[in-house]
Amino acid sequence: MGTLNSNNNAQILPKFNPLDPEQFRNQAHQMTYPVLSQVEPGYLRTQLPQNAPNRPESFESIMKDVQNHIVPGMTHWLSPNFFAFFPATVSSAAFLGEMLCNCFNSVGFNWLAELEMIVMDWLANMLKLPKTFMFSGTGGGVLQITTSEAILCTLIAARDRKIENLGLDYIRKFVIYGSDQTHSMYTKACKVAGIFPCNIRAVPTSIESDFALSPAEFDIWFHVDAAYGGSAGKCPEFRQYLYGIERANSLSLSPHKWLLSYLDCCCMWVREPNVLVKALSTNPEYLRNKRSEYDSVFKSLRLWFVMRSYGVANLQSHIRSDVLFDAVVPRCFSLVCFRFSPNKEHELGYTEFLNKKLLDSVNSTGRIYMTHNIGATFTEDRHVISTWKLIKETTNALLRESVF
Amino acid sequence: MGTLNSNNNAQILPKFNPLDPEQFRNQAHQMTYPVLSQVEPGYLRTQLPQNAPNRPESFESIMKDVQNHIVPGMTHWLSPNFFAFFPATVSSAAFLGEMLCNCFNSVGFNWLAELEMIVMDWLANMLKLPKTFMFSGTGGGVLQITTSEAILCTLIAARDRKIENLGLDYIRKFVIYGSDQTHSMYTKACKVAGIFPCNIRAVPTSIESDFALSPAEFDIWFHVDAAYGGSAGKCPEFRQYLYGIERANSLSLSPHKWLLSYLDCCCMWVREPNVLVKALSTNPEYLRNKRSEYDSVFKSLRLWFVMRSYGVANLQSHIRSDVLFDAVVPRCFSLVCFRFSPNKEHELGYTEFLNKKLLDSVNSTGRIYMTHNIGATFTEDRHVISTWKLIKETTNALLRESVF
């Protein structure tokens, strides 16, 4: 029970506020870790026991290990200084959607889950995809884990459509063509699907044609992987990058790359859902009861949460606000491929050596992490400016050391 | 500022407690939904707009739609009345692990992520797997999304090992053998991998040998799918079900089925990690920089959180406490295959008709949902008892209607 005395004491002490946002902001900003893991391989094995504990451990002791051993060994994809691979965009709406999905922990057996159908059509409408890709038209879409899965699934569908006409033995004659700019997953998916490696072709593309492919009018399955850039298509000024999509058989796009969603989330649309279903569905006895077909919520809930919480207008402005910087080859969205080339007369091998040295030096500072720059969700002007400053400082230092 | 008057009022009103656990319990128990979705296909499309909103919507309005439109259309895998497919076991430690993973939103590019190696060895030790499956021995393990993925990956590894010796053209001669009790995914994985359907064989097993397979001493890749039952192996009294595992080339086990983890989580161990890596790894230029190999945290964090929070002793007692009930064929763990057969002289077709009718009737009540009974995490005696009561009542009602 309180007394007058203790009340008097309270007036002398500074006001107690356990949720002071300013104090939190200051302290949180001091909890910084290098964006790129600074540990050596094998470090974690020396920190953690050889076996799982027999008795429960306290939450506090687990979190202490997370802080001391796990976090320092991580590369932080959400850091604004993360310029590597691709941006892992997130949002608070996506986090709430994740939590809700976890609460349900539901298995969506049927790919025709209703919310998924609705969400896929919503996104297709945002991107102004043709009706041939929509459930409200003659096509449809399905959520996958990653682009890798989407490419594998479409490849199997395309393969089996041909097998049906030509017979199984033709598998060794099937040829797959991809742009020479295609993700390495393309080759892997082909191998998984039993395509002979000698039949996997890379079609040369060039900067003059914006690395575009113009598939001739052959009877081929034409898949477009728009994992990162596809999200820009919802802005009218970037819709041009999806021109001709009506000629594709399928399209994949990963909202975890530029649509404020958590890993893993990949949208895939196909013009002929029946071909995909035929190639990949099973019909075992234990799924054959009246209700198994109707599970209506799958992970689509997460994407639905993002779209409703922000609305099309905000999702468009997110694309427009992403930090862009200049590049040697024409910049496309925020994807910049630049290189250091102090002397244009250097051989290509030497230029590559210079850039590798520069990249290793910059990354070894732990302050930023870059491979092929795209920029993370929380990246602001100041991060790009300080990154550029660091790159120039490092270049100058290397020049002084006569490394170049 | 408070006054004497307002203090007096407070004494008249009932004490305000916004976090009254008793009130919460009472109200939460009134928020009940049928375990099995009671809606008809297509219902959701009529409830939700055709397009994503242009402006943001409030959290309250989204949650209202979740309550009114999403939840009633779902089949609730976490309901204690869920007796279908397989149990989706969860725990609060798993939920915290999920949240932490989401906070990091990190991509673990390399399958040799260190925490994953540690966690896989921990679980291997718990199951008393031979050293040939452990990183601390000569093997190793990797987390996959589902058993389907694990089966596909091992199949590709096995296939490519043979291709290396025999040449690509042999793909059409490769024969895959599975027990006739194997999951339907087995056939699907074979087709994805380009195995000719005529070469997919189901080996007959029988109740007398506990449906066991005894692969002869041929040079074959032998994979064991222990998705549900494998978790029991950590109890000495159930370790017998893993006898002979040292002769297998690979093993998969899904902690989301009986190890208190969230979907999706599948552990896969292999005796020859190099064969798996060779078959499935790519080595593209953009992964070839000094740091890309060292990402040390992937989704293994979730499993690590569960093991540490509960300890081996609790995880064993969870297996032991799972509800079991009698069955026609010998019960194995809590997997019960029972059927209604009022007259032993009935033909098999007629018995199937009876059971289908009974199953449809029981499920149409919405009170329980069963296909092949295993039992969910929250299932208690009373749920099994009331389920059994419902089955008997329904049977009697059908008998009275002379359906049987």
Beta-carbon separation of A297 and B126 below 8 A:
no
Question: Based on the domain organization, do B286 and B267 belong to the same domain?
Answer: yes
Does a structural domain hold residue B140? yes
CA A135 centroid distance within chain: 25
- pTM confidence score: 0.74
| A90 bridge partner residues | none
Domain housing B223: 107-313
Q: How many CB pairs under 8 A join A and B?
A: 276
Question: Based on the domain organization, do B192 and B141 belong to the same domain?
Answer: yes
Residue finishing a domain among B313, B341, B371: B313
Q: What DSSP string describes A73-107?
A: GS--TTSTTEESSS-----HHHHHHHHHHHHH---
Beta-carbon separation of A291 and B363 below 8 A:
yes
Question: Based on the domain organization, do B256 and B377 belong to the same domain?
Answer: no
Beta-carbon separation of B105 and A78 below 8 A:
yes
| A335 bridge partner residues | A332
**A contacts of B280 (beta carbons < 8 Å):** 188, 192
Does a structural domain hold residue B101? no
Surface-to-core class of residue A110, CB atoms within 10 Å of its CB (0-12 exposed, 13-18 middle, 19+ buried): middle
Give residue B5's pLDDT. Answer: 47
Is residue A299 a contact partner of residue A108, using CB atoms and an 8 Å limit?
Answer: yes
The domain total for chain B is 2
Q: Measure in Å the smallest separation between the Cα of B214 and chain A Cα atoms.
A: 25
**A contacts of B296 (beta carbons < 8 Å):** 37, 39, 43-44, 70, 73-74
Does a structural domain hold residue B35? no
Beta-carbon separation of A301 and B95 below 8 A:
no
Both tokens of residue B293?
Answer: 């190999």
Does a structural domain hold residue B93? no
The ipTM of this complex is 0.71
Interface test with B, best of A101, A104, A335 (most B CBs within 10 A): A104
Q: How far apart are the first and last CA of chain A?
A: 74
Give residue B108's pLDDT. Answer: 63
Per-residue pLDDT of chain A (404 residues; tens, 9 = 90+): 334 444 444 445 665 565 567 766 666 566 567 777 777 777 888 888 889 998 889 888 888 888 888 888 787 887 777 777 777 777 888 888 888 888 888 776 554 478 888 999 999 999 999 999 999 999 999 888 889 899 999 999 999 999 999 998 889 899 999 999 888 888 999 999 999 999 999 999 998 888 888 776 778 999 999 999 999 999 887 888 899 999 999 999 999 888 888 888 899 999 998 898 888 876 555 555 444 433 445 678 889 989 998 899 888 878 765 433 335 677 677 777 777 766 555 667 777 787 888 888 888 888 888 876 566 777 788 888 888 888 888 877 776 665 54
Q: Measure in Å the smallest separation between the Cα of B58 and chain A Cα atoms.
A: 7
Residue finishing a domain among B281, B313, B345: B313
Q: Name which of B115, B169, B183 is nearest A172 (Cβ-Cβ).
A: B169
One-letter amino acid identity for B392? K
- Which parts of chain B have pLDDT scores under 70? 1-20, 23-32, 108-112, 216, 282-298, 320-329, 331, 341-347, 372-375, 399-404
Q: For the segment A8-40, what is each residue's pLDDT rounded down to a tens digit?
A: 444 456 655 655 677 666 665 665 677 777 777
For residue B373, give Cα distances in angstroms to A72, A289, B85, B260, B323. 45, 14, 7, 18, 11
Give φ, ψ of B82 to 5 degrees: -90, 110
Which DSSP symbol is given to B70? I
Q: Name which of A62, A121, A187 is nearest B282 (Cβ-Cβ).
A: A187
Cα dihedral value B62, B68, B69, B70, nearest 10 = 70
User: The domain that contains B374 carries what CATH number?
Assistant: 3.90.1150
Is residue B159 a contact partner of residue B153, using CB atoms and an 8 Å limit?
Answer: no
Does a structural domain hold residue B302? yes
Angle between helices B273-280 and B147-166 (to 10 degrees): 90
Chain A's closest residue to B57, CA to CA, is A309
3-state helix, strand, coil in chain B (%, to 5): 50, 10, 40
HSE of B264, CA atoms in CB hemisphere, 13 A:
15
Does a structural domain hold residue A264? yes
User: The domain that contains A144 carries what CATH number?
Assistant: 3.40.640.10
Is residue A391 a contact partner of residue A362, using CB atoms and an 8 Å limit?
Answer: yes
Q: For the segment A84-124, what is each residue's pLDDT rounded down to a tens digit?
A: 777 777 788 888 888 888 888 877 655 447 888 899 999 99
